Structure 1
Amino acid sequence: MPVVHPDPPDGGWGWMVVLAAFFQSALVFGVIRSFGIFFMEFVGYFGELSGRVSWITSIGIAVQQFASPVGSALSTQYGARPVVMAGGFLSGLGMLLASFATSLTHLYLSIGLLSGFGWALVFTPSVASVARYFKKRRTFATGLAFMGVGLSSFAFSPLFQFLVDTYAWRGALLVVAGMSFNLVVCGALIRPLTLKEDLAGPRDPGGSCLGKLSTLFGLPLLSHWPFMRFVLAVTLINTGYFIPYVHLVARAWELGFDEYQAAFLMSVAAVADLSGRLLSGWLADCRVFRLVHILVAWTSLTGISLALVPLGRSYPLLMAISICYGFFSGALTPVVFSILPEIVGIGRIFGSMGLLQMMESIGGLLGAPFSGWLRDMTGNYTASFLAAGAFLLAGSLVLVTLPNFFSCLSSSPACSQVEAGTEPSLLTPACGKHSSQDRDCLARSQDLRKPT
């Protein structure tokens, strides 16, 4: 019989899980962000249009996001360790097969489909595993895990360029494949963890295969209205969040700055992003403020910084706005994933995270094209960044509609936990004490983990 933990251990082997998630985020999103180094190599070798070549990474990202519920369902059934190890093998195999590509279709299937599906099996289960191992320090641990994305973005771009210059693109892809196979080792570090809440509900949802599949994929959460409102908010946030990664450099060129000045804007934003993740994790785990309020604050500040981009006509001012954007956007990321257990409970973290990843991808996929369309219609990027800021502010407004956002606001750090053995709820006062007018709030707080 496995050992049943009443609460997440908040440390111990959990730090090894954080280390594994750090390398997993680096070897998934660090590779994706730096894959542009191969872009012109593919254009020149295959003699294809840039638009067709760009579909390689687009397919990979789309498969990674839309297949996230598959990774979550398999993790719920078999545990995160074998799923992540299988995903690491598939992602490395896709890169290996891509090194022998003779056409773009070959690259679509190997990198886009095979590696993309491998990334889906790696990322969501690894982040969910961090959430399961931590409670009081969950946001800080998640922030540390996500630092792998920023640091690898710095390191991989020059590394990939060196590999391409030395071994050509086929040899470089072989090296990237070898790096990706290390995801198997990272997956092996994720030890199974059985929590008391895992045993609270029935394991068998019913005799029908349909019912079992529905539960494995977390489909009952589609009628969980607080969760669905949270998904809507994150989707709106995602629509504006990634626009600077695509259009901030072009905005700098539009203002007459050279390519090195434009690229430096993204570099300083990445440094600020790392700082924001660490500070946000520390602040959230201090338990002085509720996570939902912290998330609304970071989201609103990110939206405001994006809306201010059109005012940055001088380079120092645009630099300052880029630093603010990088810091605030980095700060909100770990809070988004840390708040999920407070909405649905830690027992349904795999299913909820898979559904969130799949549905929020709609915003990520539509945001940049919509921003480009606004630029084409208006002739500049002013409307694009105003719209990006508006999407994040709209996401903040949706977060405000979560049940009892404006009530139960006491926040004493000395007594921030609710009853022992239970996950703190968005609807529970941080001090755990209830006045007569808050009795109804306490009664409703139990509804967050079941459909309403």
Structure 2
Amino acid sequence: MNWGVLIVLAGFLLHLNIIGYLYSYNLLHIQLKESFNSTATEAALPGSVSIAFYAVSSLIVTWIFQRFGDRPAGFLGITLCCVGLLTSSFVQEIWMLCLTYGVLYGFGCNAIHLVTIDMIVKYYKGIKSTRCIGITMTASSIGVLFSPCLEWLYTTFQWRISLRILSGVFAIVCIPCMSLFKEKKDNGTPRNIVTQKQENKTRRNMSLFQKYIEMVRIPAFLCLVCSYAMSGIATTFSFVSIGSFLTESGLSGTQTSLILSTMGAGDLVARVSVSLLSQWLPISITSLYAIGHIVSASSMLSLPYAINATVIMVILIVFSVSRGIIFVLIASAPIEIAPVHSSVESVGLVYLVFGMCALSAPYITDNVYDIKGSYNSAFFICCALYACSSFFLFAAVHLNKKNMIRRNSNENTDCQYNQMIVNRSEEEPTEYSKEVISRVTVI
């Protein structure tokens, strides 16, 4: 049996529990708002900080697993998540949740997520890695499907005891999964001698910082970074404050959890579909990523004009499908554009940008609600952010095509040069062979 299958399965279970709960903050947002009698902005901060650190800690996490290995970094992530939930259940001030739930849990989620991606990339190459990463990340959508169960848990035991229960469950499930992560030795066959020597030299001589400098010098990657910056704000708002919007619209807790669960189903359908069909789609991964942002922009623009709960549900289902496309490809788009030897580092860099901008989401979106008493302006802001993000993504696709043409031209030149060397060695005798021939002739 291919051990990579176990890696994908273990990563799936890790994302189902840890990342699925991270994306279910909408329900905890409502609980915190009532428990601490806080504003929407204050209650949204722990969730936005956790999503931000889920992305912004990528550089540190990348250094940790490159220095100490994937499995130790993964166990560190599980420990931080469980400790973060446990300590969050005892805090008495909402700002402390930004440290316990926000920083600790978010950092732990990032460690688990990046380690999983790194392991999959080591076991699978090319389109297979994209598909396996997509399958693994669908688990977070399945985790959101359990929103009614999470609502029952909060209602029955209150949020403090619920966090303690979840902390224990995550430890029991996730530690055995992380134990399955083991390193794989790369025995791949080089495409050609010259290209392989160049890649080996690059990996050996370039530091982590140098790899980041190399990536930001690529115009297509810079456009990708701009896209992630704007998408980070709008997407964080959808994971943190949609539940509050539904509650303020007059929906009950049961209706809110049902709609969030339905959104999880739409998200799941999109992730599974893209993961299975990405190999046969006639467009690039980054182009599909851009289309997801266009659909998200249209959905956000429609929400202020929804007339009843049914229309709101339909719009949010459409939005969840587009968000599913965005999140199933969030790690694949930078891999497609970045240099081959910097695949995982490229994911860490765009996650850093995504997370830094996610920190500002409550002040841009929920703060508007606290001032005006309506989320309509926040939806318009998110619509504009998604639209601009899609523009930069299409620009990245265009620039990357030019770069690919130039790269292929260079590789063809290397192949021709390599073949010329081989032919020359076959046709022309070396100095040693010339000496042997002369001696034989003399004898």
Aligned to 2:409: 443
* Corresponding residue to 2:264 among 270, 273, 279: 270
Greater shift in the superposed pair: 174-183 or 83-92? 174-183
**Which residue of structure 2 aligns with residue 85 of structure 1?**
75
Q: 1:137 to 1:239 in 2, by over 3 A?
A: same
| Structure 1 ranges of 4+ moved more than 6 A | 36-45, 50-53, 102-106
Equivalent position of 1:13 in the other structure:
3
- 2:145–2:265: 8 Å Cα contact kept in structure 1? no
Moved more, 96-105 or 16-25: 96-105
After TM superposition, give the deviation of residue 174 of structure 1 in Å.
3.8
Q: Which has the higher helix share?
A: 2
**Correspondence 1:200 to 2:166:** no
Alignment-mate amino acid for residue 74 of structure 1:
I
Q: Secondary structure at the match of 1:193?
A: coil
What are the equivalent positions in structure 2 for 1:93-132 lying under 5 Å apart? Answer: 93-98=83-88, 110-132=100-122
Give structure 2 stretches of 5+ with no counterpart. Answer: 189-195, 413-443
Alignment of 1:213-232 (within 5 A): 214-215=209-210, 218-232=212-226
Moved more, 105-114 or 82-91: 105-114
Pairing 1:387–2:381 present: yes
Asked whether 1:184 is paired with 2:175, we answer yes
3-state secondary structure, aligned to 2:146? helix
Shift of 1:274: 0.6
Higher relative contact order (CA 8 A, sep 6+): 2
Structure 1 residue 76 and structure 2 residue 66: aligned? yes
**Hey, what does 2:423 align to over in structure 1?**
none
Q: Which residue of 2 aligns with 1:66?
A: 56
Structure 2 counterpart of 1:422: none
CA-CA distance at 1:331 after TM superposition: 1.6
Distance 1:171 1:390 in 2: 40
**Cα displacement (A) at 1:116:** 3.6
Q: 1:266 to 1:91 in 2, by over 3 A?
A: closer
| Alpha-carbon distance, 1:394 to partner | 0.6
Can you list the C-alpha shifts for 1:95-128, whole angstroms capped at 9, x where unaligned? 4455666777876654444444332322222133
Distance 1:258 1:91, change over 3 A: closer
* Counterparts in 2 of 1:391 and 1:109: CA distance versus 1, 3 Å: closer
Larger radius of gyration: 2
TM-score normalised by structure 1 residue count: 0.74
Asked whether the equivalents of residues 21 and 145 of structure 1 are also in contact (C-alpha less than 8 Å), the reply is yes
* Aligned partner of residue 69 in structure 1, secondary structure: helix
Shift of 1:234: 1.8
Q: 256-265 vs 58-67, which deviates more?
A: 256-265
Greater CA drift, 128-137 or 17-26: 128-137
Distance 1:405 1:377, change over 3 A: same
1:287 to 1:34, Cα distance in 2 relative to 1, 3 A:
closer
Tell me how large the CA RMSD over aligned residues is: 3.7
Alignment partner of 1:145 out of 118, 136, 139: 136
Of 287, 290, 297, the match for 2:284: 290
User: Which structure 1 segments of 5+ residues have no match?
Assistant: 1-10, 207-211, 409-426, 429-438, 447-452
Superposition TM-score, scaled by structure 2 size: 0.76
Q: Percent identity between the aligned chains? A: 18
Instruction: Report the Cα distance in structure 2 between the residues aligned to 1:253 and 1:107, rounded to whole angstroms.
Output: 22
Number of aligned residue pairs: 400
Cα separation, 1, equivalents of 2:381 and 2:393: 19
Q: CA deviation at 1:54?
A: 5.8
The CA deviation string for residues 358-402 of structure 1, in whole angstroms up to 9 with x for no partner, is 111133232343123444566543332222122111111111222
Matching residue within 275, 296, 299 for 1:281? 275
Whole-angstrom distance in 2 between the partners of 1:388 and 1:52: 20
2:165 is the alignment partner of 1:175: yes
Q: 1:90 to 1:401 in 2, by over 3 A?
A: same
Residue 297 of structure 1 deviates from its aligned partner by 1.9
Deviations 1:3-29 (A, max 9, x none): xxxxxxxx9332222222222223322
Partner SS state of residue 278, structure 1: helix
Indicate if the aligned counterparts of 2:298 and 2:383 stay in contact, CA closer than 8 A: yes
Structure 1 window deviating more from structure 2 (296-305 vs 131-140): it is: 131-140
| SS of residue paired to 2:359 | helix
Letter in 2 for 1:334: V
Q: Match of 2:22? A: 32
- Structure-2 change in CA distance of 1:347 and 1:108 (3 Å): same
**Map of 1:154 onto structure 2:** 145
Number of the residue aligned with 1:135: 126
Q: What residue identity is the alignment partner of 1:214?
A: F
Distance 1:299 1:190 in 2: 33
The offset of 1:348, in angstroms, is 1.6
Describe how 1:398-409 pairs up with structure 2 within 5 A.
398-402=392-396, 404=398
